[in-house]
A and B are shown apart, each in its own frame.
Chain A
């Protein structure tokens, strides 16, 4: 017993200088960085969880959590910028398709990265009150891709354009719409509301203003009301297919306002 006690005391070097190789942190980080590159480059199948988790664990254990976290941010940012570039280069219909594909891939990569740095997420991130890795990945995607100057407007216009097409009778890829709009929702309620829902409602108001003007010139009251009912049904259906359920009330009120309320005087006196 006393022998064992002695052994205990050997672990307590008097100074707590970490005795590891000074280049230890760099070396370890290189391994992890390489893995992240592989993950983003679709080369993940051969990666060893045991090795990567252990290295990330050791970095945090030896108090290099800061380096790990910052490295993670840098590397992920790098890849997201690459992704952003490739999306920018996409033409026409491929644009939305590519965003969706890259988004899905980013999510898978993020899940793997999160698994690798599980310990950092539990200890370092919690104790330093930083953003957890999952949320961090979403923020980075939002800031580097969705909010990228060459993508943000184009993305919104593409979506609104598709909605417009659908309203005018064209058939669109609703699944793709649903996935991309789901991305906005995943990025946070405020992203969905500010960057999609609001412009969508404005565009809808504009659309139905014009629409109703045309109807009211050409129909009597009964026909008009029938025509006004159709968009209501369509919009509710649209919400069900690819929008957030909370948008239903908002879009119906927009339609009602544009189709009925704004013309109520005229309809009554028709």
Chain B
């Protein structure tokens, strides 16, 4: 024994510390003998002495655990919690600062032999407390899906930070589709400090990675705020902007349906079957709708007193029950129609629920203003004749209401175009509280209209479709309209820039010293033309007000002259954010189209202008002169045979609008300088807007079986069209890039000039003929572990190498860490690209 002791005196301090760390003994209080240390220890000695030390510590541990925690020997305090009594020891308990404070402070408990813990966090149960107390005695917690969050909650309460970390690690490593929602809600609805934040971050990464696929069914169950943050985030992996739109629409509709069903106590059906197959969903949706119809009618009978909310307009508002019923029927027929019309877009379940939302809210406040006539015209044109019969025209009595409410910014969010979609809490009193709260609703409006869905990167046909969908939901569609203009403007700008770029040095003509011909050397001009293959298009050769309708080129192709547009000042007239400040004499019908792409978050003030959009467009229909080209154009397309059925009409108007602006004054550079990143301002765009002021382009790609990638091998994603170029991501495996010799995966962005092969896309495909372009970009790999970001939008831009070369990071990912980053073996990469 003596010998052993002396041996242990030769021990190296590190060993001590090592053990202390493992047992998470807090640093000893200061008046304590320092561990015995002798300067030189021979290696064979230290091994044996280490063994004996280990032995001693193990036996101490065993003693404390079995005698202390197990049998409560020499216990000096009894802890009662959740129905159990634990005979414990102050010395051990004081490892937790909670107990330490309690037992040594000036508190009632300090001198008490029994301590009663009334834990009232519902996530904590007796078992979790027991695990946490055992942890203080050196037991390692046994965690599983069911108790991890409970132990975390208990450990958080008892201020056991190490145990919290163990639980969080476990939760993050075990995060799956099946438990995702539980953990998301757990971390989101309570504040568990940094540990909760870690779980939240993991959930976010997982959601970004899998939200468009594996977790899709979960989306409707997320809080509206989380959902909207997700749907607008660059970090969400989704193949394309149109898929993002579909996802958002699905989530919106299903979320609304859940809100309703929750209200009508139908929630059990939804709560249990979170992932029912789409086929059966239809019938379920219908059931809900049927059930709901009665409930909501009941509700209406009792609560038609909506006057409170309608304030000054209340006198005019009378909603007879009969109309409510009619309205309801219309809702049903409308939904049926949508099934036929958009087979590809949403689950039919979601669609059915639209009408539930629509109907129930609508019947509560079925006010239809003057614009409603126009709306119905177009609506009817989509409906079959039989359906349109049912469309009520609640009519003139509510004129004042709609106008007033727009002016008052009151509940206007809910009444665009006279249709009511969401409702504030309390729109119907008491029982009538279904659907979205105002907050939730405005979160969704922000998603669709706030500028975070980049409609400008969707194809024209898809935009039309999106517009239709949004209109049916009563959204103003302003952002969609703007998207189309942005698209056109971007194509013009890209071609203009390309034409001004030196072929040799890839610099813009002003900066180029090569004295070479510029990119497009057909001597034409800097005219922008928009045609199929971007060959020399000399008919556009002058700056005159030439307007060509190339009907032979197929629907939807307009040829736009360069548009010289008066850039508006600060003035915003509130008409869908599209200005009407004319500096010239307006031509008969169409004033100029100074372009404002608004990213103003939709708030009460914002709603005003949005609401006006529909209104103006429709008023225009009824013969009034619209104040600007865009809304007028929209109005026309609606008034004829439905959106998209009269492209010639669009084209004509668009062309005329742009032609008319030709003689306008020079744009002022200063007003162009708004940064895209500045979310709270309005961005003015015109034909001189730098490319970097256009919204970026996002796409998502997936690489299967990444861990099988052999060294040096490359895998390419499909290509995506943006701004006259084709973009793709490639990954490559390396074993010679990491300084520590680990295998790595490189991540690269490739760009080449577009070529037109795909006949479907030719409508909006154009070519940026440059060999090299400058872009800023970010590649994002979302995962449970973290959302990995490569690149930054703060940079000024990278001159991308000539195709087929790519540009990126050769050691972006480590093979060793792949398992934490993949989803079913696939690596998902989201890309955000912006030409500068």
Name the B residues within 8 Å of A60 (CB-CB): 191
Q: Let me know if B122 and A14 touch, CB within 8 A.
A: no
Given contacts A54-B118, A58-B121, A115-B101, contact A44 B106 (CB under 8 A): yes
Q: Let me know if B109 and A50 touch, CB within 8 A.
A: yes
Name the B residues within 8 Å of A7 (CB-CB): 146
Q: Let me know if B262 and A15 touch, CB within 8 A.
A: yes
Q: Which residue of B lies closest to A8 (CB)?
A: B182
- Answer whether residue A141 sits at the interface, using C-beta atoms and an 8 A cutoff: no
Report whether over half of chain A's contact residues are helix, strand or loop; otherwise say mixed. helix
Name the B residues within 8 Å of A8 (CB-CB): 145-146, 179, 182
Within B128-172, the residues touching A (CB, 8 Å) are 145-146, 156-157, 159
Q: Let me know if A124 and B191 touch, CB within 8 A.
A: yes
Q: Let me know if B106 and A9 touch, CB within 8 A.
A: no
Q: Let me know if B107 and A49 touch, CB within 8 A.
A: yes
Q: How far is the CA of A7 from the CA of B588 in the complex (A)?
A: 68
Q: Tell me which of A61-69, A76-84, A188-196, A257-265 binds B.
A: A61-69
- Answer whether residue B271 sits at the interface, using C-beta atoms and an 8 A cutoff: yes
Q: Let me know if B190 and A5 touch, CB within 8 A.
A: no
- Answer whether residue B710 sits at the interface, using C-beta atoms and an 8 A cutoff: no
Whole-angstrom distance between the Cβ of A8 and the nearest chain B Cβ = 5
Q: How far is the CA of A123 from the CA of B190 in the complex (A)?
A: 12
Q: Which residue of A lies closest to B102 (CB)?
A: A49
Interface residues on A, range: 35 or more
Name the B residues within 8 Å of A48 (CB-CB): 107-109
Within A1-39, the residues touching B (CB, 8 Å) are 4-5, 7-9, 11-16, 18
Q: Which residue of A lies closest to B255 (CB)?
A: A14
Partner of A49, one of B109, B156, B186, B271: B109
Q: How far is the CA of A115 from the CA of B267 in the complex (A)?
A: 42
Q: Mark B763-799, 1 if CB is under 8 A from A, else 0.
A: 0000000000000000000000000000000000000
- Answer whether residue A112 sits at the interface, using C-beta atoms and an 8 A cutoff: yes
Q: Let me know if A45 and B106 touch, CB within 8 A.
A: yes
Whole-angstrom distance between the Cβ of B662 and the nearest chain A Cβ = 54
Q: Let me know if B181 and A115 touch, CB within 8 A.
A: no
Q: How far is the CA of A123 from the CA of B157 in the complex (A)?
A: 12
- Answer whether residue B258 sits at the interface, using C-beta atoms and an 8 A cutoff: yes
Partner of A47, one of B107, B123, B146: B107
Partner of B146, one of A4, A16, A54, A61: A4
Q: Let me know if B159 and A62 touch, CB within 8 A.
A: no
Q: How far is the CA of A54 from the CA of B123 in the complex (A)?
A: 14
Q: How far is the CA of A4 from the CA of B127 in the complex (A)?
A: 14
Whole-angstrom distance between the Cβ of B195 and the nearest chain A Cβ = 9
Name the A residues within 8 Å of B182 (CB-CB): 8-9, 11-12
Q: Which of A4, A49, A54, A58 has the most CB of B within 10 A?
A: A49
- Answer whether residue B221 sits at the interface, using C-beta atoms and an 8 A cutoff: yes
Q: Mark A231-246, 1 if CB is under 8 A from B, else 0.
A: 0000000000000000
- Answer whether residue A122 sits at the interface, using C-beta atoms and an 8 A cutoff: yes
- Answer whether residue B758 sits at the interface, using C-beta atoms and an 8 A cutoff: no
Q: Which residue of B lies closest to A59 (CB)?
A: B191
Q: How far is the CA of A122 from the CA of B157 in the complex (A)?
A: 12
Name the A residues within 8 Å of B20 (CB-CB): none
Q: How far is the CA of A49 from the CA of B112 in the complex (A)?
A: 12
- Answer whether residue A225 sits at the interface, using C-beta atoms and an 8 A cutoff: no
- Answer whether residue B97 sits at the interface, using C-beta atoms and an 8 A cutoff: yes
Interface residues on B, range: 35 or more
Q: Mark B537-563, 1 if CB is under 8 A from A, else 0.
A: 000000000000000000000000000
- Answer whether residue A119 sits at the interface, using C-beta atoms and an 8 A cutoff: yes
Q: Let me know if B159 and A119 touch, CB within 8 A.
A: yes
Q: Which residue of A lies closest to B101 (CB)?
A: A115
Name the B residues within 8 Å of A63 (CB-CB): 190-191
Partner of B223, one of A16, A57, A115, A127: A16
Q: Mark B174-194, 1 if CB is under 8 A from A, else 0.
A: 000011011011101111111
Name the B residues within 8 Å of A16 (CB-CB): 185, 188-189, 223
Partner of A57, one of B145, B157, B271: B157
Whole-angstrom distance between the Cβ of B160 and the nearest chain A Cβ = 12
Name the A residues within 8 Å of B221 (CB-CB): 12, 14
Q: Let me know if B189 and A18 touch, CB within 8 A.
A: yes
Name the A residues within 8 Å of B119 (CB-CB): 54
- Answer whether residue B685 sits at the interface, using C-beta atoms and an 8 A cutoff: no
- Answer whether residue A53 sits at the interface, using C-beta atoms and an 8 A cutoff: yes
Partner of A14, one of B106, B159, B192, B262: B262
- Answer whether residue B632 sits at the interface, using C-beta atoms and an 8 A cutoff: no
Q: Which residue of A lies closest to B117 (CB)?
A: A50
Given contacts A49-B108, A54-B119, A63-B190, contact A9 B159 (CB under 8 A): no
Q: Let me know if B102 and A53 touch, CB within 8 A.
A: yes
Q: Let me know if B106 and A112 touch, CB within 8 A.
A: yes
Given contacts A7-B146, A49-B108, contact A123 B121 (CB under 8 A): no
Q: Which residue of B lies closest to A55 (CB)?
A: B120
Q: Let me know if B102 and A50 touch, CB within 8 A.
A: yes
Q: Let me know if B101 and A61 touch, CB within 8 A.
A: no
Q: Let me know if A50 and B115 touch, CB within 8 A.
A: yes
Name the A residues within 8 Å of B190 (CB-CB): 61-63
Q: Let me know if B108 and A11 touch, CB within 8 A.
A: no
Name the B residues within 8 Å of A169 (CB-CB): none
Q: How far is the CA of A13 from the CA of B270 in the complex (A)?
A: 11
Q: Which residue of A lies closest to B197 (CB)?
A: A127
- Answer whether residue B5 sits at the interface, using C-beta atoms and an 8 A cutoff: no
- Answer whether residue B116 sits at the interface, using C-beta atoms and an 8 A cutoff: yes
- Answer whether residue B584 sits at the interface, using C-beta atoms and an 8 A cutoff: no
Name the A residues within 8 Å of B121 (CB-CB): 57-58, 61
Name the B residues within 8 Å of A115 (CB-CB): 101, 105
- Answer whether residue A46 sits at the interface, using C-beta atoms and an 8 A cutoff: yes
- Answer whether residue B98 sits at the interface, using C-beta atoms and an 8 A cutoff: yes
Whole-angstrom distance between the Cβ of A40 and the nearest chain B Cβ = 13
- Answer whether residue A156 sits at the interface, using C-beta atoms and an 8 A cutoff: no
Partner of B98, one of A4, A46, A118: A118
Within A81-108, the residues touching B (CB, 8 Å) are 108
Q: How far is the CA of A115 from the CA of B622 in the complex (A)?
A: 71
Whole-angstrom distance between the Cβ of B174 and the nearest chain A Cβ = 12
Partner of A11, one of B107, B117, B118, B122: B122
Partner of A123, one of B115, B116, B184, B194: B194
Name the B residues within 8 Å of A11 (CB-CB): 122-123, 182, 185-186
Q: Which residue of B lies closest to A10 (CB)?
A: B271
Q: How far is the CA of A46 from the CA of B145 in the complex (A)?
A: 41
Q: How far is the CA of A54 from the CA of B102 in the complex (A)?
A: 12
Name the A residues within 8 Å of B123 (CB-CB): 11
Within B188-223, the residues touching A (CB, 8 Å) are 188-194, 197, 221, 223
Q: Let me know if A118 and B194 touch, CB within 8 A.
A: no
Q: How far is the CA of A8 from the CA of B117 in the complex (A)?
A: 24
Q: Let me know if B101 and A49 touch, CB within 8 A.
A: yes
Name the A residues within 8 Å of B184 (CB-CB): 12
Name the B residues within 8 Å of A108 (CB-CB): 106
Q: How far is the CA of A124 from the CA of B193 in the complex (A)?
A: 7
Whole-angstrom distance between the Cβ of B96 and the nearest chain A Cβ = 11
Name the A residues within 8 Å of B185 (CB-CB): 11-13, 16
Q: How far is the CA of A65 from the CA of B196 in the complex (A)?
A: 15
Whole-angstrom distance between the Cβ of A66 and the nearest chain B Cβ = 11
Name the B residues within 8 Å of A126 (CB-CB): 193-194
Given contacts A5-B145, A49-B108, A50-B118, contact A123 B191 (CB under 8 A): yes
The 6 closest A-B pairs by CB, nearest first: A123-B193, A12-B185, A49-B107, A16-B189, A49-B102, A8-B182
CB<8 Å pairs between A and B, sample of 25: A4-B146, A8-B145, A11-B122, A11-B186, A12-B184, A14-B221, A18-B189, A45-B108, A49-B101, A49-B107, A49-B109, A49-B110, A50-B109, A51-B118, A54-B118, A54-B119, A58-B120, A60-B191, A61-B191, A63-B191, A108-B106, A118-B101, A119-B193, A122-B159, A127-B193
The interface of chain B, by Cβ under 8 A from chain A, is 97-98, 101-102, 105-110, 115-123, 145-146, 156-157, 159, 178-179, 181-182, 184-186, 188-194, 197, 221, 223, 258-259, 262, 267, 270-271, 274
What would 10 more interface pairs be, CB under 8 Å, given A9-B274, A62-B191, A65-B191?
A4-B145, A8-B182, A11-B186, A12-B181, A14-B221, A16-B188, A18-B189, A50-B115, A53-B102, A123-B192
